[in-house]
Amino acid sequence: MDPATLMAMGGELRTRRRARGVTRAALAQALGTRSVIIGRWERGEAIPGPAQAQALAAALDLPPEAAAAWRAAAEQAAAEPGRGWRLPGRDAVVIPAVGPGFSPGAAAEPLPASYLDEPAERRRYTLRWALTLIILGALALALIWALGELGDGWRAVVDLFRDGSPADELPGAWGPGLLL
C-alpha cells in the first residue's frame, strides 16, 4: 500500500478518534496495544494487524468503507514478508503480535529492533550524551561562579549597614566622596 494512502487513512483515523473524544491511550488500552502504536497508525507509519483493524473499526465506529480499507491494508501487510512499519532509511521492522488475537503458544515474531542496534545511531546517541554532559558541567560551573558573585555582592551590601564605614575601602563610584 502506498504511503499517501496510509497517511490519508491515518488522518481519517485521527479525525474520527478526536471527534469521539477518545485519547490515544484509551484507544490503545481498548485494542490491547500501546498509544505509540496508535500514533504510528495515525501518521501512516504502521498498519494494524487484521484482528486489531477489526477491533479498531468497532471501537471508533468507522464507516464500512474505512473499516474495509483498514482490514485490506492489514491483510496485505500480513501477507508481505517483513511486514511492519518502515522508518525512513531503514529496513522493515516487524510489529509483535499482541492484542485480542494473541496466543502465547503461537510462533513468536521478532521484536522491534532498537535504533541503537545500528553503529551510526549508537555513535550519534553517544555523541549527544557526551555533549549533554559537557553542557551540564559548564552550566554547573557557571552556577557556582554566579553564586560566588552573589555572595560577594551580598557581603558588600551588608558591610554598608554595619557600624564602621566600609566606604573608604570601596573603589570607584562607591568611594569616600560618594557616601558621606
Side chain identity at residue 5, one-letter code: T
Q: In the listed set 61, 94, 113, which residue is the last one of a domain according to the structure?
A: 113
Q: What is the pLDDT of residues 58-80, one digit of tens each?
A: 888 888 888 888 788 777 776 76
Assess if residue 179 is contained within a domain.
no
Same domain, 161 and 107: no
Residues of the chain with pLDDT under 70: 1-2, 78, 80-117, 163-180
| Mean pLDDT over each residue of the chain, to the nearest integer | 74
Which pLDDT does position 129 carry in this prediction? 94
Same domain, 63 and 133: no
Same domain, 8 and 96: yes
Same domain, 96 and 149: no
Q: In the listed set 90, 113, 136, which residue is the last one of a domain according to the structure?
A: 113
Radius of gyration over alpha carbons of the chain, in Å? 31
Q: In the listed set 87, 113, 139, which residue is the last one of a domain according to the structure?
A: 113
Assess if residue 69 is contained within a domain.
yes
Which pLDDT does position 62 carry in this prediction? 81
Which pLDDT does position 111 carry in this prediction? 47
Strands (E), the chain: none
| Residues 70, 57 contacting (CB under 8 angstroms) | yes
**132: containing domain:** 119-174
Which pLDDT does position 136 carry in this prediction? 97
Which pLDDT does position 134 carry in this prediction? 97
Same domain, 98 and 123: no
CATH number at residue 30: 1.10.260.40
| Residues 38, 102 contacting (CB under 8 angstroms) | no
Q: How many domains are contained in the chain?
A: 2
152 exposure class (CB count in 10 Å sphere: 0-12, 13-18, 19+): exposed
